[in-house]
Amino acid sequence: MKPLALVLAATVALSGATTAHASPGRRPVDLPAGRLADAAIALGQQAGISIGIADPSIANRRVRAVKGRMAPAEALQRMLEGTTAAAVPIDGTSWRIIRRLQPLAPPAPASMRAPAEEVALPTPPIADLVVTASKRNVSVPAFPGTATVVAGSVFEANGAAGGSDALAAQVPTVTSTHIGPGRNKLFIRGIADSSFTGPTQATSGQYFGDTRLNYNAPDPDLRLYDVSSVEVLEGPQGTLYGAGSLGGIIRIVGNAPQLELFQGSASAGVSTTAHGAESIDGSAMLNIPLVYDQLGARFVGYAASDGGYIDDLQRGVDNVNRTRTYGARGALRAQIGDDWTIDLSGIWQRIDGADSQYATRGGPSLSRRSGIAQPFRNDFLLGDVTIAREWDLLRFTLTGGIVSHRIDETYDATLQTPSAMAGWPARFPLDSLPLPVGTAEDGIARAFDQSNRTRLLTAEARLSRAMDGGYGWLIGGSVIRNRARITRQFGDLGAEMPRTGVRNLATELTAFGEVSVEPVTGVTLTGGARFNHVRLSGEGLDLQEASIEKLLAARVASTERNVSSFLPSVSVSVRPMTDIILYARYQEGFRPGGLAIRDDYIERYRNDEVATMETGMRYGAPGLTSIHASLSFAYTRWKNIQADLIDNQGLPATVNIGDGRIYSVDARVGWRVATGLQIDGAVFFNDSRVTEPTLGLFASTSGPLPNVARVGARGAAEYRTALGDSLDLKLSGSVRYVGKSRLGVGPRLDIAQGNYVDTQLFGRLGWERFGLSLTVSNLFDTVGNRFSLGSPFTYTREEQITPLRPRTVRLGVDMRF
């Protein structure tokens, strides 16, 4: 508990806060003339608002001095007069500065201006809003696909402590396996392979800034404290991001160090969970300008202890699944002249789970019977450096990073007596069980331990030109080296367990490029390609003598090979009217193969490939128009699908299960009903199927792909108002429906899950530097079933479910200075 205590102590000492305020009124403003980036930081501090610069190419533009008492909207308007920049309101306290095609007109005479509180900034054309994850700041009309940007302020109140679950609650097309924090696999838009974590590469790429977080390891589940935004680009994204982006990419954008201001923030909360134990969380941030306007540092620390709510009746222990998370992040930024920027950063996070979070259906609620505890641990460490130079429309970026990731987990594999097998599901006859039957009256306690260690090295260099004058482009290259080692032990508890494992090494060299042209006004054509060359090697580790004999008879214990691929992309976007965007795109993606363990053999699995055709439309844009809507349709063809199944011993094993196809529809709408009131809704439909299963694995086609609901929906409303010059109120609520899905492919894993509703209410009352918040999640105390697997060794004898966290009430405080 020491790390948690330290963070909470820092929380009190810093007296900082998050920037979750409602619309501020008139404030004293004193901005000297100078760089746009400096003026934006100073205004944010003086007015108590958050200001982001969407296009880095305008950060060094000169702006005029502004002084007086005025609302933030008027201050922004006066500051940007005469420049090619404009401010776009995101919410009551967040603004984005974007590049316009023409300078703002001179201000009207003072006698003709509206009162300061009612000043409305001119709405810029949608073409000025950019998607930063495009790696060259492509404007919305030119971006041919579905992109979601969730502002960091959404996570500030208490969602930051939720990590990837908090993101999935905001974006319906992002789903998870829910086996436990730091152990899950994330999927986007129905591109889901399996429920288990093996040597297969992830279907969705995850990034912190420009540095890759994962290759074939589970989601690191980084907590979202002090982030600027999280971007989700639906896939495939093979041209820009290469292998492992079949479903798309998730990119976390952290807040960079500010070079001119000393500032800090902190938050803390206590929670109570129905039918469970209490929780506590805390975070602190400190920004230090070491050399004014040249060198700055930013540090973030956090800790959370999430109380358990699952009871183990066999061992007589309540609330077994407590999870503790500790983390820290540091960044150092150096500004060299007006053009060069060097960023150094590091991330450390540890997740300790005391036990698994599954329960048994049919018995007492939120309980199960297991022979042993099933703890898990996730250790994640990242270091990276980014060197960038900007001049006019050009940007050069060089990024290098190293990731060390280790996941240790234990599963209950206890043998049961014949009498304990009464009532087992009929689809699992006794002679098909993966484990032998025990004869002792109390059963035989057995454990399965798995350790997944990954070392990932990445480097990328690219040069891009922002879209201007009818064209824009990007060229680059990257090197990735990923070493993954999975080891397993399986046997009686307390006895020496035999060990086996596999090691896979992938070295990936790539060159990529993309170009966009606008042959006529309102029409943008984009074409790109990526060439990948991957060298793969692998070997079996610590093989038992019997396994070696089998390998020599039929297989090989090690292998090396080279794989090359060419991933093209082509797209078109059309703007028939100012607020309407139509687009279509075609893109491909792939994952390299490797080695895996199956039935005591070391087997090779092949590459898999996807190709997607997507069409869609957008009307308006969040923060720019009072109503915005989007609709997209996608068809995906998936060849040689890599998936982790259960072998004859009950162990996860990686195989190619066949070919498949996916149809998906995604619809979203948002309406700013009145000042301070916003309503949003989203729904998606997904239809997936294994169309040509691998011979010998299944008798026939096995239905839909796993872990992606056929239907999902989300609705949300938010209201902000000022109760005075310094007191603000924010109220919000959301409801999310997760439809039915299947645990996996094949008769053994054809188990239903999903079909539940989750809810959340939030309220915050805040002053300029202090706020109090109240959050209620799972308002109706729904049990539900997020995931139908707890242990792959015992799921055949009981119906396992992963319930939602019961109704939880959190009281939080946030401060800033």
Task: Specify the amino acid at residue 595.
Answer: L
User: Do 666 and 803 share a structural domain?
Assistant: yes
Domain end marker among 206, 231, 250: 250
User: Do 649 and 580 share a structural domain?
Assistant: yes
Give the global pTM: 0.83
CATH classification of the domain holding 217: 2.170.130.10
User: Do 146 and 15 share a structural domain?
Assistant: no
Q: Which residues pair with 353 in a beta bridge?
A: 323, 376
Domain end marker among 250, 277, 298: 250
User: Do 282 and 241 share a structural domain?
Assistant: no
Let me know if residue 498 belongs to a domain.
Answer: no
Let me know if residue 580 belongs to a domain.
Answer: yes
Rounded Cα gap, residues 93 and 21, in angstroms: 6
Q: Which token pair is 694?
A: 């691998």
User: Do 539 and 396 share a structural domain?
Assistant: yes
The DSSP 8-state label assigned to residue 698 in this structure reads -
User: Do 265 and 165 share a structural domain?
Assistant: no
pLDDT at 441: 40
Angle at 408 between CA 405 and CA 414, to 5 degrees: 160
Q: Which token pair is 492?
A: 């009686």
CATH classification of the domain holding 6: 3.55.50.30
Rounded Cα gap, residues 19 and 10, in angstroms: 18
Number of domains in the chain: 3
User: Do 332 and 258 share a structural domain?
Assistant: yes
Let me know if residue 494 belongs to a domain.
Answer: no
DSSP states along 243-310:
TT-SSEEEEEEEPPPPSS--EEEEEEEEEEETTS--EEEEEEEEEEEEETTTEEEEEEEEEEEEPP--
Let me know if residue 430 belongs to a domain.
Answer: no
User: Do 391 and 306 share a structural domain?
Assistant: yes
Beta-carbon contacts of 109 under 8 Å, excluding residues fewer than 6 positions away, are none
Judged on CB neighbours under 10 Å (0-12, 13-18, 19+), 722 is: middle
Let me know if residue 431 belongs to a domain.
Answer: no
Beta-carbon contacts of 365 under 8 Å, excluding residues fewer than 6 positions away, are 275, 359, 783
pLDDT at 306: 96
| C-alpha torsion angle, residues 670, 673, 676, 681 (rounded to 10) | -30
User: Do 215 and 266 share a structural domain?
Assistant: no
User: Do 355 and 225 share a structural domain?
Assistant: no
Q: Which token pair is 662?
A: 């996916």
pLDDT at 145: 83
pLDDT along the chain (817 residues), means of 10: 41 36 62 77 76 67 79 84 76 69 43 39 44 70 78 73 86 90 90 79 90 89 91 90 89 90 92 96 95 93 96 95 97 90 97 96 91 95 95 91 96 65 40 38 74 95 89 94 88 73 88 94 92 86 52 53 90 89 93 73 82 93 82 95 73 82 95 91 93 71 80 94 86 95 82 94 90 94 94 82 96 91
CA nearest 610: which of 585, 590, 634, 584?
A: 590
Let me know if residue 441 belongs to a domain.
Answer: no
User: Do 466 and 518 share a structural domain?
Assistant: yes
* Straight-line distance from the first to the last Cα atom of the chain, in angstroms, rounded to the nearest whole number: 27
Q: Which token pair is 691?
A: 């169309």
pLDDT at 141: 53
Residue 627: domain span: 251-412+446-488+504-816
User: Do 240 and 109 share a structural domain?
Assistant: no
DSSP states along 635-675:
EEEEES-EEEEE-TTS-EEEEE-EEEEEEEEEEEEEEEEET
CA nearest 77: which of 61, 90, 66?
A: 66
pLDDT at 10: 38
Q: Which residues pair with 349 in a beta bridge?
A: 327, 380
Let me know: does 269 contact 280? Beta carbons within 8 Å. Answer: yes
Domain end marker among 221, 250, 279: 250
CATH classification of the domain holding 522: 2.40.170.20
Alpha-carbon distances, residue 617 vs 144, 520, 632 (angstroms): 10, 19, 6
Let me know if residue 803 belongs to a domain.
Answer: yes
Rounded Cα gap, residues 590 and 607, in angstroms: 7
Let me know if residue 437 belongs to a domain.
Answer: no
